[in-house]
Structures are given as C-alpha cells and as structure tokens.
Homo-oligomer: A and B are copies of this chain.
Amino acid sequence: MDNDSGLARRIHGAGRRMTEQRRVVLEVLASVKSHPTAAELYDMVRRRLPGISPGTVYRTLKVLKNLGYLQELDFGATASRFDADVADHCHVRCDSCDRVDDVPLAANPRLEEAQRILDGWKIEGQRVEFHGLCPECIGAEQQSGQKGGDGA
C-alpha cells in the first residue's frame, strides 16, 4: 500500500525498524472500525502472519503508540481505579507515575449532543480524563535530564 510510506520513514526516523509485523499490525488496525483489544488484534494479524507471537503484538502496539500512530483507549490503565466520589467530576492521570487526581471540573455533559448523534444508543453517562505530567514528575524529569520518551 502507500499509506505506510510516511510510516516507514517516521519509524526509521525514530531509530526504529520497519518490519513486516509492525506494518501489518498497523494496517489491520487501520482497516477495522472496531476497537480491538491486543488479543483480538493478535488473532486478526495472525491470519496474515501465522507465525507472529502475542508478545510481538504487544510490543508493536506500544511502539506504534509512542510514535503517535495509534491511540490506546483506557490509556495506561493496567488496573482499574476506584473513586468513592460519584459526583460529576473529571480526572487527570500522570503519564509518568500513573497517579490519578481529581479535577474540580464538571464533565460538562454533552450527553444530549452525544445522544443526538448516537441514534439507537441509550447514553447513561460519560467520563473525561485528562493526562499529562504531574508536578513531581516534571521536577524529576528536569533534574535528571530525561526527555520523556517512553513514559514511565
């Protein structure tokens, strides 16, 4: 295809190799409108690359995500977090240390707007999560001169 010309260039530019596995993973992900999990993606990719391993898919997804070629929903969440405050508010997650804080800002329900678009759905709520670097991690980064490449 031709939509990987830029991809190959940028992967190379980032000091990474453009392998068939990576190209196919991205092609397959881009070809579906569902939002597959890594396991689902592994099954899909395996049809084209029977020998690929799950570990490669996970590693590839991480690489492509860091390069900005895809986004991970539920970003950074290896485990669910809980909040006894059920009032309408947002959260911030630190990309580096994974800490989660409250944001005293209503989710500003655009529920009606979404409901109008999502014909046939019954929308019950929404969640808004910001992400970035927390004060502590900003300090730590500046002191140790890290550039924030791969996150935590």
| Nearest B residue to A74, CB-CB | B77
* Smallest CB separation, A71 vs chain B (Å): 5
Asked whether, in the complex, the Cβ of B38 is within 8 Å of the Cβ of A102, the reply is: no
Which chain A residues (99-152) contact chain B, with CB distance < 8 Å? 99-105, 108, 110-111, 113-114, 117-118, 120-135, 138
Asked whether, in the complex, the Cβ of A69 is within 8 Å of the Cβ of B84, the reply is: yes
The complex places the Cα of A30 from the Cα of B83 at a distance, in Å, of 8
| Interface status of A5 (Cβ within 8 A of chain B) | no
What B residues does A71 contact at CB under 8 A? 82-83, 85-86
* Smallest CB separation, A118 vs chain B (Å): 6
Chain B interface: which of A11-19, A48-56, A90-98? A90-98
Asked whether, in the complex, the Cβ of A35 is within 8 Å of the Cβ of B126, the reply is: no
Asked whether, in the complex, the Cβ of A121 is within 8 Å of the Cβ of B133, the reply is: yes
